[in-house]
Chain A
Amino acid sequence: MALSGMRGLSVFISDVRNCQNKEQERLRVDKELGNVRTRFKNEKGLSPYEKKKYVWKMLYIYMLGYDVDFGHMEAVSLISAPKYPEKQVGYIVTACLLNENHDFLRLAINTVRNDIIGRNETFQCLALTLVGNIGGREFAESLAADVQKLLISSSCRPLVRKKAALCLLRLYRKNPDVVNVDGWADRMAQLLDERDLGVLTSSMSLLVALVSNNHEAYWSCLPKCVKTLERLARNQDIPQEYTYYGIPSPWLQVKTMRALQYFPTVEDPNTRRSLFEVLQRILMGTDVVKNVNKNNASHAVLFEALALVMHLDAEKEMMSQCVALLGKFIAVREPNIRYLGLENMTRMLMVTDVQDIIKRHQAQIITSLKDPDISIRRRALDLLYGMCDVSNAKDIVEELLQYLSSADFAMREELSLKAAILAEKFAPDLSWYVDVILQLIDKAGDFVSDDIWFRVVQFVTNNEDLQSYAAAKAREYLNKPAIHETMVKVSAYILGEYGHLLARRPGYSPKELFTIIHEKHPTVSTSTIPILLSSYAKILMHTQPPEPELQNQIWTIFNKYESCIDVEIQQRAAEYFALSRKGASLMDILAEMPKFPERQSALIRKAEDAEVDTAEQSAIKLRAQQQMSTALVVTDQRPPNGMPAQPSIGPLSLVKVPSETVDSQNPGDQGLTHPNGVVYKEDPQPPSQDIIGDLLGTLSIEGPPGAVAQSPQSATYEAEGAPSAADAAALVPVGEESGSVQPIGNINERFYALCLKDSGVLYEDPNIQIGIKAEWRAHQGRLVLFLGNKNTASLGSVQALILPPTHLKMELSLVPETIPPRAQVQCPLEVMNLRPSRDVAVLDFSYKFGPTMVNVKLRLPAVLNKFLQPITVSPEEFFPQWRSLSGPPLKLQEVVRGVRPLPLPEMANLFNTYRLTVCPGLVSVIPCVSDRFMNLLNMFLLVEVELTGVPLSLV
């Protein structure tokens, strides 16, 4: 359907649509903008029709996302055109291009006012719509009274009055001090008797705005609201055209119930009875039906009714009914209803007495944590967090931990934060708490701040029965090939301190402990080295009689660090070296750490201060708070008569609020309690003040990567060198009867395509299709394999083995042995890159269809470029680094000939798909890029591409 009569506009739209790429589109748009600008400059020569056309073009260009920084004046001036067609364009375009803060709008106030008070109702409508959509303070000052008059005027038609109601609503909402609503209670009550449902709907919205500010004045409207609700929901007394899928205007019903929620209660017993009758009818009379639109409408009403019931604090019986209803909802097929069921159950938690009934649905809620829809998973997480208490903490936290391994990156931060808070708040016993936090560090180390592991150390130090347990756990984690740096810190600390308790067990000799800790030494950053040095000193101290060989090893390390540029490391190395030569005095100075004074967890405090509910919003909120608050004062409780405090075990001690302030008589205390175990002076504050701040800090892109994710049921293959021949390995399916099952499409091409994008088909044959979807973040990746059976018979003996090259750690979750007919199964695959390499992982996949065994080896697109993280560098930063690289193997050059010339933007796009950024400001040269593998391998990749002569150099 072409735009009648505006050929120029249609042609322009077609031109834009026909553009092959963004660059062409920009050229076309720029040309048009130039044209429009010239035409506007010479305004006298423009006919109203032309002006209209150009203003529409401007709006179209604006909508496409281009800056339109001129012509606002022309749009606004069309408002004062005498004829409807031009005036309409002026009003619509102005309302789209400008917002309430634009100065230009002021120019239009007079014209708008004339249209509002004039006799032409079409003009009135246009003006009211504009003011309703973008009217600011000045509009309120000069127009509010006129708009009020229109709303209650008996001579105005409903079509004007309903617009006046919403226009007034906006003016009032934006500037309640300017719009005078004294004495409006009676007017509103009258408006609620209105028979025209359009006017009634708008008036109800206006009422919501008015009562939300001051319900006292509008008590007289309450019975009218109940009447309206009865009229709609009970009597269905409403013209046919105001029903929507058989339901009397769901919007009006919802709004009416909204308004009622602003009144604190319904006092009059009769009104209350009728209201509850209607609500009961809505709650019980709504079924899930086939028609999705009817469902949406009836449930919009139902959920609002639920909110109203909660607000009115109905009897327990009705509340239980509501929870039962929600329990039903969270298990239905319809995802919208599931989502809202969970959301409303979370709101229901605020109602006393129903928590226990909600707990009955725990199993179902945990299932929702694995829902395919992230929106629903978020709701489930929120609800689980809200309903957690001492009785169910163990179950819930363990579910969260299990889920953490497979959760998408978008949710991991929130999950680990919530798990940490719940574990600390509701720990039934301390060994469980230690387990949980260690698992958390293992699975999501990036999100576990220092304060959390300090806290673990505090608990272990203060509870003797926990010490050997923790040491054994720490030893276990150190056995794993790649662990998060925080895990290295906490394990090294605990083993240094308490490893000797287990010296009799095999594998726990001082020599063995030292070896296993020192293995991690090459992988850690400078912040961890001091902890390792302390650990070594402690191991040395506990080795009685001394072992000369171990002593020498450790002394060599101390010697090496005595000249370290980092002062902290240097000092420790020097002091430990000197001390360890003093023999017996080493024992005194490096003796076991004293117990920590009780202190409140910063995490819990923060969690209580600001309810951590939703991911982004609360994150922002908390960050803002963190910036405002000064460093928190640690209020330590000194044990009476100088004896070490006997910490009480159990949840109470975890959240206890200490009552005394820092004991000023013992200033050394803080230094002694530093978890790194070194005696030195320190600010009277713990090193890192704000756990949540820290947790959030790690969210930034530069945050240290390095979490280890693992799923308990998965099989780990650390195959050594197995797939080194993978590149060459036949990528042709090897059938038992060769040639019986041929792949569809070219496997190599599919692989190459997937190297550049994150989802697509990896393999397909007549029986099966293997799709892949991947997410990447720093050195980690999460792939999901979609195994789809195309047949009407099951596929059996399904087997998927991952053959990773040495640099990749990969874990594939359990693959079912059979895939039912026409079914698709999803198998998450966790990938962690340990060091850069060009080797490729291979999926060895086989299945049986009838008597035929099919086996294929497929390269997985977990290739080097997926782990790159582009950064932007300026030419000033780039060139010195570039020049400082001298040549092979650091700098390689390759000339590629016969390359089809590419325009710059396409070139940039190509690089983007390789996850390399093209930095602006560098003409003819495209540099980029860094990647961070693990913190140990913080390496940069710079690429320079010279476009002019086409040499392509890679580092």
Chain B
Amino acid sequence: IVHKLIKLQIHFVLLISRQGKVRLTKWYSPYSQKERSKVIRELSGIVLNRGPKLCNFVEWRGHRVVYRRYAGLYFCMCIDEADNELEVLDIIHHFVEILDRYFGSVCELDLIFNFHKAYYILDEVLIAGEFQESSKRTIIRLLSTHDSMVEMAKEEATSIGNMIAQVTK
């Protein structure tokens, strides 16, 4: 028999708060700006209105949206119909666990004020809408290297700034 196969790929990732505020969007398939807002509007309408204790999947425009709610925040990922929904649900949880370890019991405020960090953490979990790394330890180690590089650059900048300030005094 021919089993209908589609390559696993996440088309986009959305983080939406219970009030419908967007906290993160990442698009792996090309969507125009207009389409992006439309998708967000439609999906928040569907996902936010679902009650508790239902399954984590909704069918939307021939796609499946896998979502999971953590406190007031919904993590949504959109995949093709024939893909493995639970695998994607595992990816969502994996991502949340990494955020949690990185921020130390993460809450929505962390993601609001550090939205840029959420983006580069996501880049360590997914590339091209494909899953990248199962080891949380590896990812956390990498993230702290990045952070220390940013810190170092900042210190350098301030020390140069001080030097210039002293010279021009």
A residues in contact (CB < 8 Å) with B: 1-3, 5, 10, 13, 17, 49, 56, 59-60, 63-65, 67, 83-85, 88-89, 92, 95-96, 99-101, 122, 128-129, 132-133, 159, 162-163, 166-167, 169-170, 173, 197-198, 201-202, 205, 208-209, 212, 239, 241-242, 244, 249-252, 254-255, 258, 261-262, 293, 296-297, 299-300, 303-304, 307, 310-311, 313, 335-336, 338-340, 347, 350-351, 372-373, 375-376, 378, 614-617, 620
Contacts and interface: CB of A to CB of B under 8 A. Distances in A.
Contacts of B84: 254, 258, 300, 303-304
A311 B3 contact: yes
Contacts of A96: 25-26, 119
A64 B22 contact: yes
A60 B131 contact: no
Given A198-B132, A307-B3, A616-B61, A167 B127 contact: yes
Contacts of A241: 135-138
A432 to B, nearest CB: 31
Interface in B13-67: 21-28, 30-33, 37, 40, 51, 53-62
Interface residues of B, number: 71
Q: Which 5 A-B residue pairs are closest in the complex by CB-CB distance?
A: A617-B62, A300-B86, A335-B55, A170-B128, A132-B127
B123 A201 contact: no
B168 to A, nearest CB: 16
Nearest to A251: B131
Query: Which DSSP category, helix, strand, loop or mixed, fits chain A's interface?
Result: helix
Contacts of B81: 614, 617
Given A64-B22, A201-B134, A372-B51, A83 B153 contact: yes
B163 interface: no
B160 to A, nearest CB: 12
Nearest to B26: A96
Contact of B62 (A162, A251, A304, A614): A614
Contacts of A197: 134-135
Contacts of A376: 54-55
A278 B76 CA distance: 32
Given A133-B28, A617-B62, A202 B132 contact: yes
Contacts of A242: 134-135
A310 B21 CA distance: 42
Contacts of A95: 123
A313 B1 CA distance: 7
Nearest to A376: B55
Contacts of A239: 135
A212 B61 contact: no
Contacts of B146: 84, 88, 122
B153 A3 contact: no
Given A88-B120, A373-B54, A198 B135 contact: yes
A614 B59 contact: yes
Contacts of B114: 1, 3
A167 B130 CA distance: 10
A262 to B, nearest CB: 7
Given A96-B26, A338-B55, A49 B130 contact: no
A296 B90 contact: yes
Interface in B141-158: 142, 145-146, 149-150, 153-154, 157
Nearest to A48: B157
B1 A296 contact: no
Given A63-B25, A212-B5, A336-B55, A56 B127 contact: no
Nearest to B136: A241
B52 to A, nearest CB: 10
